[in-house]
Each structure stands twice: as C-alpha cells, then as structure tokens.
Amino acid sequence: MKIYTTLLCVIILICTSILIFKFVNPHIGVSVFITGLTVLMYLSLKKTDNGTMPSHNLPKYLIPEKTDTEELVVAMCNEDVSWIDEHAHKYKLVTVYNKCGKVVKFKSPNVKVIESPNIGTCDHAYLSYIIERYDSLPTFIEFTKGWRPPKGEYHNCLPCKTDKEKHNELMSFSLKDYNFSNPVNSHKKGLSKFQTSKYNNMGEWVKDSEFLTEDIYKRNTCNMIYGGQFGATKEQIINTPKKVWEHLRSQQKYPRAEVDHFIERTWRPLLCEYKYNRLTDMLKYAIYFPQFHQIRENDINFYNGYTDIINLRDLIIHKKETPSHIELPLTSINDYDYVKNKNLIQSQIELLKKYDIDGFATYHYWFSDNTITGNKMIMENINNNLLNSDLGDKKIFYIWANEDWTSSVLTNNKKTVIKNNYDDVNIMEHCQYLMSVFSNPGYLKFDNKPVFLIHHLRMISNSIISKYYNILNKLCKEYNFDGIYLRINSDYKNIEDIPENIRDKCYDLHPQYKNPDKYTQKGTGISYVDYKKYVDELNLYYSDIQSIFFDFDNSARLLYNKKDRKPTKCVNNTEEEYKKYFNKIKEKVPKILLINAWNEWGEKMHIEPSNEKGNYYLELINNHLNFSKIPKIIHKVFIGDNDIVLLNNAITKTHNSWLKYNKGYELKLWAKNECREYLINNFEKDVIDTFVRLIPYAYKTDFFRYCVIYMEGGWYSDWSQECFEFNLLERLERDRKHPLVTFKDRCGYKLDHTKNNNYINNGFFGAPKGHFILKEIIQKIIHNVKINYYGENRLLPTGPGLFGNIFCKYYSPVIENYYESNFYYIEETQIIKSKCDWVLNNDFPMGNSYRELWKKKKIYANTT
C-alpha cells in the first residue's frame, strides 16, 4: 500500500472508532480500532506495489536487479522457504538443494528442487551447484541459506551486478572470532572443536588435503567470507579449475565437522583474490615513440628533417631535459637518430635489461589513406628493428596511434591527408598485416594471445571496435593463436558507450592532459596540470593495464606549430607525489603497468636517461617496482663466546621446521669466525673494521645479517625462530607490496612512543640480492660506529629503529604485517614463533648483553 493511502485509512479508522466509542458502545469502538489497525498493518506488510514482499523482511542481497543471466542457489534444511515463490520471477532460475528430505513444492515454474545429502552444511550444496554447472554457469549467481541469518552473523553479496570494480567488496568477519584465546566466543559459535582439532592453521589443512600442487591459496590467512550468503560472477568461479572445487567437496563427509570451517575460509581466496594481481607478477612496459628519424610525411607537414629532437635542440626554456650523452651514448643531441645512429636502439634495450623493465609498448602508425607517400605503415622500419633486435627475454607490443594527421589538429599543411577510413576492406587489410607482426617471437602474448592496444577510442565508432575485435580474434585463431588480447584506451569516452563484449577490456592512459581540470595562467595562455591534485583525485579501477607518468611539457612538440597552440606543463610533480602514485598502483595491481613514456622527448615524458637528471627515473622505478626474486636460502647467525655453531635438539628442531614447511629452500648457519671470513672476502676494510668494533654480539649479528643478505639475497631468521606455516616464504614473497618483506617491531613500540613509529623487526625479513635499502643500512652503521652513535634507545645504532627509518624514507611508513608478544602474525594468524631463551639452556653461553652495554655506553671498542 502506498503511504498516503495508508494514512488516509488510519484517519478514517480513528474517526470511525471515536464515533462508535462515543455514540454506540465503548467496547465495540475499541474492538473496531484494534481490528482495523491489525488489518492495515497486515496489508502494508504483505505486499509492496510491485507484488513482492517488502525488502526489510529479507536480506538486501535477495532483492537483486532484474537480469536474465542471474540465478539464485538456496541450501535449505527444514526452513520456511515460502519467500522463494515471491521472488523467483526475478531470476532466470532458482535452484534449491533440499538437504533434509522435507517435502517442498513451489508454484513458480523456474524453481528447481534437487534432493541433496545432508552433509557439509550449505557449502556442500554450493559446491555441488558449481561442479554440476561449471560449463554452463550464468553471468552472476547468488548463494544463500533457506533461513535468514541470526543476529551476529554477517551477510552480503558481491555488488557486481552493475559495478565490476567492486567484485571484492564482501563483508567478512575477522579471524578473531576463531581465536582460541577467546573460548567464550569460540564456544558460542560452536568452534571449540575447530580450535582443538589436529589442524592448527590453514597451512596444515592444505597439506593434509593434498593442496600443495594447487596455486589457489594466494592469501590463505586472509579474513574469511561467511559461507552462508555471498555472490559470485561466472568469471570468478571458472578462474579456479573444476578439479579444485571437486576436491573441496570431497573433503565434506559428515553433517557438520571442523573441516567445514576450513571450507568456509576458502570462498574468499578462491572467488576474490584472483582480482588482485601480485606485484611480483606485474609487467612493466615503457611506451616507445619511434619518430626520431627523418620521414617524408613530416618533411611535407612541417619542415625538412623534422623530429621532436630537433625541436628540443632549438627550444630555449628553463629546466630543459635532453638525452644523455653518456648512457646512450651520443656525441651530441643531433646523434639521437634511429636511422643514422645504428647502435641507439640496442643501447636502449640494454638499459631495459639493466633496470628490469619488461619491454616496450611502441606506437603503431597505420593509416588507410596517405596522400604524401601512399604508405599505410609509417615508421615501420623502426618497429621492425625493435622486434628483430637482441631482446633477450624482453618483449614488444603495439599501441595503435590511430588519430588522423590533419591540419586541424597535428600538422601545418592543409593539403595533405593522412587518416583512417574504417571500411571492411581496410580493416581486413590492417588485421592481415598485424598477423605477420604477431607471429614474431619478440611480440608479447598473454596465454598465446597477442597483446594489442587501441589508443584513440574517440576516433572509432562502437560497431568498428566490435568489428576489429571479432576479425582479429578470428584471424589469430587461424594463425594458431588462441585469440586476441585487445585493450582499448577509454580516455575521452563514456565507458557505458563501449560495446558490452569488450567493456571489461579498457584502460586509462595518463596524463589525461586535455581534460578541463588543468588551469591556465593569465596573460600567457599556458596551461598547467597540477600533479599533486591529479594523483590525489586519481581513482584507479581494477584493470589489466594501468599507467603512470612523471612529468609533462609539450613545448618542444609545439615549437614550430603554426597554429600558435600554447603548451601544457606539469607542476608539483615531486618525489613524494611519485610515491603516492606508486602506492595507488600497488593497491590495484595490473598485469601490465604502462610507463608513459620511455622517450617522448617532445612532451618531456621520458624515463630514458637525460643529461640533467641522469638515471633518476629508472632508479626510482627500480627502487619501488622492481620485485626481483628473493633467493631460496635462509640465513641464521649465532655469535657468542665461541667461534663455532652450537646446536642442541630443541634448536635443531626449530631449524628443521623451516626446511619442512618451505620445500626447495637451503638453510645456512653462520658462526662468528665464518662471519668474519665472509666479510674479509667480500667487503672493503671499513666494513670489517665496523664488525670488529661492535662489542654486543647482537649488534655484530645485526650488521652481518644486512651484509650477507645484501650480497646473496634471501631470508634472515633469528637463531631460535620456528616456522609452522606451509610455503610461508613463497607466499610472503608472492604477496609483498615492497621489494623487501618486512614486519613491524613490537619492542620498538615499547621504546619509542612517537606518533609515526616505523620500527621494523630485523629478526625476520627477506630481500633480493643487492637491494639499495640494505646497502644504505650498512653505510649508516659504518657511520654510526665511526662517530660512536648511541641514539635515544638501544634499537637505533644497528637494529629495528635504524632499519625502519631508512626503509620508510623510500616506502610507505605503513607496514601491514606486525610482530606481537612472542609470535609473528599476518592478519591475526600466527606464522612463526621465537623460542624463549630456555631452549638454549646451558649448551649455549649467551655472552654479553646489548641492553646492559648500551646503558653503560660501552657498545664500541676503541680504535687501534
């Protein structure tokens, strides 16, 4: 009933009741009022205007938008499920798994009842649906129990029916609910058996369930999804192999057992975590501009010999940046020519290799109409040279720069025409040409699909986009590829206007400097992009491809443009803002990060070395985004009164735990004399002198761990630490957000109560070989020893305070993982434990105390 109708009825009821009460009989008047009010409440609650039950009687996720590709799956056992008939018309199909044998009948023709064994709670029913429908799943599926969850249990479905960006937003509750230290809560939830079972963590269950060969637990200690209610897309489900779902269902053999709680924990890793690509797998491709040589088209459209480098040479401007004579190398700026300088391209490729950038995304210039030379491909020889160079493991792919070269936009010549006519003949000719390019072994493929990007989406109609996709996909399969990996730059285009079959294949190329957010300086006409504001307002969505830029100034590009176009420049682009941009990339990690650009000198977008800044941008990217492999070696150091490694059964057991749970790793133990010999053989005299002058054994151990991890890479673990999670080191390396794996330090928080405490525990960390952070730490300790530095507390000369302060100079001060009490945790789940001193017993002379020596100001030996 509508609200105004209800109010009118209430008013009439009140008036009628008063009249009966006053003039007929008071008892009858009261009865009429109560009866009428009851009827009105019933009518209001029974139906909404569209004939469905009102929303507040059901969980919100059971009120979906109308869609022909959505299904509902219900796991029931003796509940009242009469609400299903009221809502069945909203779904293509409703599948009810009847687990308790209760006879149920539904009026709606699209409700299907499947009799199911009463095992494994609701998860068994959901898994059965996934397995049975794996090859014919709808676009979106909602899973729910037959009864509404009681108070204290959370529910929500994935809000991805309309917004693909929010696939990951499931409500979940913390693993604190499963913490055995809270037995009241555990008992209330019926989980005491779960806590005391033989499985004390997910790693143990994965091992016992033969999951070691399955790469599904990307974060097996993450917060869980409540198994009763959630939603998922087809893509999320089929991303996991069918055999994994079958294996999960086979684990459930009883109506309710502790294994069900582990099954419950798998939904989020399996359905959500694939959305987050790992930084260790992210590919970095620099956009490559192949223009720097003389071509006939530019001679006619501008001036004889035109290139952006000539413009840059002639440009008189403050803070101009020019290609490095040393790194490339060049005799002068005129030597930056891809045709005249035969070594230039290979020099650029060697820099790619040196800084671990995965390749070039080079602009591809194809035009159907060219009135100057008739050539459809412009700058083809440079792109061919790139593909046929000594690339090693680097790859090339194309970005089609399909913008017309017309006098109204790009050129000074009103008579020439270089443009694209998107008719069927030209499209097919272009696609056929691309097949020869894709077949080159140096061209990038994902899953045997050539990667191809379209740069100017605004130049093409929706039907042409679809046609390109369909033809390229078909031709690629004919050429023994598995299809085309097509992505389109959504700049200047409403994504809702993009054809549905490629809507999820978009990316944004930054900077979008032609948007209205830039501001113009009065009197000059020069426009500015505020980098700080740009990054602060940048809202990245989940996409296979993201982009980053560091600067912009198209003064050189426009130097000889006759249309008197004023340049656009970038301001407030500081290193702090670059770090913020990096952090945004890390939050929504793409498969490919496009770096704009390698050599766009005409727009001051270059990471290629310059005479003015050297290798600054390459070093910056390397420091923040180079996630080199961490070698599979675990270093443990024991420095005491003796010069040998002493072991007992307890320590041997803790050491063996690292090899037990981390297959394929090597354990290396170091004693004092071995540390000294290693430093003598691998470092300069000042490093050796520093090691000798440090009196506390703990400080010597600190210093040596940095030195050995810097030289060899790998993991450092304190002598008495025990590991008890499967594949811990592999997972930590895989999921890191910084090149180093680090943890907060609890002791530092006790000693230093400043607001921005950044102490890092140096008793357990991992790093690739030769990382600059460790080098700076080593240099800082050498300096501290030379000046007899003590600092405000005992952890600053060599320990967690020094480590954290240097780390946070370059990376975000927020270190998500933390150390507490005697345990290391990741998201509240215990992963390793440090044994107390009693495990050392009398076999291990503990030697000196760094605490006492620091208090007495006796941590440094006198120089000789």
Least confident of 9-13, 304-308, 318-322: 9-13
Copy the structure tokens of residue 230: 């959630």
- The answer to whether the Cα torsion of 492, 494, 500, 504 is positive or negative is positive
Copy the structure tokens of residue 803: 């480590």
Q: Report the chain's terminal Cα–Cα distance, integer Å.
A: 95
Task: Calculate mean pLDDT across residues 492-513.
Answer: 69
64 secondary structure, DSSP code:
P
> Comparing C-alpha atoms, which of 35, 144, 149 is closest to residue 96?
144
Amino acid 744: pLDDT: 78
Tallying the residues shown for the chain, one arrives at: 864
Residue 274 has pLDDT above 80, yes or no: no
pLDDT digit string (tens) for 740-766? 988 877 665 556 555 456 788 899 999
CB 226 within 8 A of CB 154: yes
Amino acid 748: pLDDT: 57
Highest averaged pLDDT of the listed ranges 103-112, 429-438, 809-818, 834-843: 429-438
411: three-class secondary structure by DSSP: coil
> Comparing C-alpha atoms, which of 46, 96, 48 is closest to residue 71?
96
Residue 499 banded pLDDT, cuts 50, 70, 90 = low
Question: CA angle, 779 as apex, 773 and 782 as ends, to 5°?
Answer: 145
Residue 554 has pLDDT above 50, yes or no: yes
Task: Calculate mean pLDDT across residues 576-587.
Answer: 91
> Comparing C-alpha atoms, which of 350, 382, 443, 371 is closest to residue 413?
371
φ and ψ of 145, to 5 deg: -80, 165
Residue 224 banded pLDDT, cuts 50, 70, 90 = very low
Q: 78-87 long-range contacts, Cβ below 8 Å, gap at least 24?
A: 78/102, 79/145, 79/146, 79/147, 80/146, 80/147, 81/146, 83/53, 83/57, 83/58, 84/108, 84/111, 85/111, 86/52, 86/53, 87/52, 87/53, 87/58, 87/62, 87/63
CB 129 within 8 A of CB 95: yes
pLDDT digit string (tens) for 703-718? 999 999 999 999 999 9
pLDDT digit string (tens) for 45-74? 544 333 333 333 333 333 334 344 588 888
Rounded CA-CA distance 742/766 in Å is 7
Rounded CA-CA distance 263/253 in Å is 12
Total Cβ atoms within 10 A of residue 138: 17
More confident residue, 339 or 81: 339
| Angle subtended by helix axes 424-438 and 462-478, to nearest 10 | 40
Amino acid 515: pLDDT: 63
Q: What is the CATH number of domain 283-625?
A: 3.20.20
Amino acid 146: pLDDT: 82
Listing DSSP states for 504-571 in one string gives TSEE--S--TTSTTSEE-TTT--EEEEHHHHHHH------SEEEEE---B-TTTTTT-TT-PPPEEEE
CB 773 within 8 A of CB 841: no
pLDDT digit string (tens) for 320-374? 999 999 999 999 999 999 999 999 999 999 999 999 999 999 999 999 999 999 9
Task: Calculate mean pLDDT across residues 550-567.
Answer: 86
Q: Establish whether the linkage from the previous residue to 323 is cis, with ω within 30° of 0.
A: no
Least confident of 125-134, 274-283, 318-327, 799-808: 274-283
Amino acid 813: pLDDT: 54
Under 8 Å CB-to-CB from 565, ≥6 apart: which residues? 558
547: left (phi over 0), alpha (psi -120 to 50) or beta: beta
Tell me the CATH number of domain 633-855, given options 3.40.1130, 3.30.70, 1.10.8, 3.90.550.
Answer: 3.90.550
Residue 392 banded pLDDT, cuts 50, 70, 90 = very high
Residue 413 banded pLDDT, cuts 50, 70, 90 = low
Under 8 Å CB-to-CB from 56, ≥6 apart: which residues? none
Amino acid 230: pLDDT: 73
Rounded CA-CA distance 193/180 in Å is 10
Mean pLDDT of the chain: 79
Under 8 Å CB-to-CB from 81, ≥6 apart: which residues? 74, 96, 104, 146
Rounded CA-CA distance 412/414 in Å is 7
CB 333 within 8 A of CB 309: yes
15: three-class secondary structure by DSSP: helix
Least confident of 97-101, 578-582, 771-775: 97-101
pTM: 0.70
Q: Establish whether the linkage from the previous residue to 767 is cis, with ω within 30° of 0.
A: no
pLDDT more than 70, % of the chain = 74
Residue 150 has pLDDT above 60, yes or no: no
pLDDT digit string (tens) for 158-186? 322 222 222 232 222 233 333 333 333 33
Residue 411 banded pLDDT, cuts 50, 70, 90 = low
Amino acid 63: pLDDT: 32
> Comparing C-alpha atoms, which of 325, 343, 314, 317 is closest to residue 611?
325
Return the domain boundaries, the chain.
3-46, 55-275, 283-625, 633-855
Residue 777 has pLDDT above 80, yes or no: yes
Separation in Å, CA 129 to CA 143, 160, 700, 773: 10, 20, 60, 50
Copy the structure tokens of residue 679: 């430093």
Task: Calculate mean pLDDT across residues 598-613.
Answer: 96
Task: Calculate mean pLDDT across residues 71-87.
Answer: 85
Rounded CA-CA distance 734/218 in Å is 8
